[in-house]
Chains A and B, each alone.
Chain A
Amino acid sequence: MMMRKIFILLIVPLLLSFHVKAQDDLMDLLGDQPKTTDYTYATFKTTRIINAQSVENPAEGVLMFMIQHRFGRINTGAYEFFGLDQATIRLGLEYGITKRLSIGVGRSSYEKTFDGFLKYKILRQSTGLSRMPVSLSGYFSTAITSLKWEDMGVENRTNYFSSRVSYTYQLLVARKFSNSISVQLIPSLIHKNLVPTGEDKNDIFSVGVGGRVKLTKRMSVNAEYFYTPTGQISYDFNQPLSIGLDIETGGHVFQLHFSNAQAFFDRGFITETNGKWWDGDIYFGFGISRVFTIVKPKTIAEQN
């Protein structure tokens, strides 16, 4: 059943892209070979769909400051003001080193985790002279948990720094189908140096799917889901589903969302989500990002 779901998730965007290709061929019949390549831009409004990375990078020389915040579970009731009394946050910086490469660092309150990542645009969706149906980025991140160790019933246990570290490798495959609709697939591999039991896998495979539908020029509805096949994780865990609203205002992007995940970094939300949507274990949250131009882009005159 689950395999079939994955299959459909993978196949439908493919079919859609063939459909678009057929239209392109029709255009060829009209003559007029294009002489330039038009690269698709703004597949997503910002570098995240909701929790997951999107194919977008900060522009070259641009530093982005990001505050991601989630309240507590809305089913905690009036006493906890429906979750608003509690908070999980991540502060992050991202920088566009080149047009294709960006680097980022962040610190989450969830398990007091530091994270760092590199994201590289391998392919850019384009039309015209050189045509490419999808954008493809490679993404690598490291998360280091800095929680104090608990001995978990073993006396004087030796704890290793390596046990705090986990890695995430992702391919981000996105296609902007039209001005309003973009879809992204995210095959992922998460490596944890230390897992709780022998039944837990150190390497965890997962596939994410996300997308957005634009409502107006400045607003879009986003959704994102990760499916991690069972049998890799022994503790209680649920697949993370998030639904959000992006609002763009000048140099800011606001992202409002509902999610059953609590963490903002990859290992946390992909493999450690424990909330259940149908039980009301839903976290309300938001993200704010602001961009600062550090290195001014060259003008056309300077480039020549």
Chain B
Amino acid sequence: MENMGGKLKYKLSKWVVIVLVLSGMISFTGCYYDDEDNLYPQVGGCDTSNVTYSATISVIMSSNCNSCHSGSTPQGNLKTDNYTDLKTIADNGKLWGAVNHENGFSQMPKDRPKLSDCDLSKIRIWIDGGALNN
């Protein structure tokens, strides 16, 4: 029995070291309390003064939508990477319903957080202005 006690002690200390090292490795990056709105503020707040298709909307589309909605077999058979197709869904309400997560529309971007309020208001302004190719 005494022997066993000695063994156990040795075994325990060896494992304690290993576990401490491992858990240290796992948690070395530490805890942060960041959110994207604060960590990456939109420079100068939300600038909605010059919303155009080429400079504003096509940029939002390419960083959030085109990865699925482009090419020869786009998701949902909808393309957002060109003006003509985007104009169609802007006019029939599908674009706004999807990005603003309205009832009866498939919520976009799929499985990802909703677009920022700033991007949403830019899209709204563009649609309200007639979804021009400017």
What is the interface of chain A, defined by CB distance below 8 A to chain B? Answer: 97-98, 101, 103, 116, 118, 140, 142, 150-154, 157, 160-163, 165, 167, 191, 193-198, 200, 202, 234-236, 274, 303
Within 8 Å by CB of A152, from B19, B63, B101, lies B63
Q: Are B36 and A194 touching (Cβ within 8 A)?
A: yes
Contacts of A160 in B (CB 8 A): 32, 34
Task: Please pick, from B26, B29, B35, B101, the residue contacting A116 in the complex, using a CB distance under 8 A.
Answer: B26
Q: Establish whether residues A195 and B34, one from each chain, have CB atoms under 8 Å apart when the complex forms.
A: yes
Most buried by A among B26, B38, B114: B26
What chain B residues lie within 8 Å of A274 (beta carbons)?
111
Interface membership of chain B positions 85-101, coded 1 if the CB is closer than 8 angstroms to chain A and 0 otherwise:
00000000000000001
- Contact partner of A198 (CB less than 8 A), chosen from B15, B37, B64, B119, is B37
Judge whether A140 and B36 touch: CB under 8 Å.
no
Q: How far is the CA of A236 from the CA of B108 in the complex (A)?
A: 10
- A153-B30 CB under 8 A given contacts A103-B22, A118-B19: no
Known: A142-B27, A160-B32, A197-B113. 19 other contacts (CB 8 A): A116-B26, A118-B23, A150-B63, A152-B63, A153-B63, A154-B42, A160-B34, A163-B32, A163-B39, A165-B29, A194-B32, A194-B35, A194-B36, A195-B35, A196-B35, A198-B35, A202-B32, A235-B112, A235-B114
Q: How far is the CB of B90 from chain A (nearest CB, A)?
A: 19
Q: Is the CB of B29 within 8 A of A195?
A: no
For residue B119, which residues in chain A have a CB less than 8 angstroms away from its CB? 153
Q: Tell me which of A98, A103, A157, A193 contacts B32 (CB under 8 A).
A: A193
With A97-B19, A98-B15, A303-B4 known as contacts, the answer to whether A167 contacts B32 (CB < 8 A) is: no
Q: Is the CB of A162 within 8 A of B23?
A: no
Residues from chain B with a CB closer than 8 A to the CB of A152 are: 36, 40, 63-64, 116
The 8 closest A-B pairs by CB, nearest first: A193-B32, A196-B113, A235-B113, A154-B40, A202-B33, A194-B34, A142-B26, A195-B35
Q: At the interface, is chain A mostly helix, strand, loop or mixed?
A: loop
Residue B31 CB within 8 A of the other chain? yes
Contact (Cβ within 8 A) B35 A151? no
- B35 x A153 contact (CB < 8 A): no
CB-CB < 8 A to A197: which residues of B?
Answer: 35-37, 113
Which residue of chain A lies nearest to B26 when distances are taken between CB atoms in the complex?
A142
Closest to A103 in B: B22
Q: Is the CB of A161 within 8 A of B29?
A: yes
Q: Does B121 contact A (CB under 8 A)?
A: no
Most-contacted residue by chain B among A160, A193, A198 (CB, 10 A)? A193
- How far, in angstroms, from A186 to B79 measured CA to CA in the complex? 44
Give every chain B residue within 8 A of A193 (Cβ-Cβ). 29, 31-34
A–B Cβ pairs within 8 angstroms, 9 of them:
A97-B18, A142-B26, A142-B27, A153-B64, A153-B119, A193-B29, A195-B34, A197-B35, A198-B35
Cβ contacts under 8 Å, A198 to chain B: 35, 37-38
Q: Does B132 belong to the interface (CB within 8 Å)? A: no
Q: Are B36 and A151 in contact (CB under 8 A)?
A: no
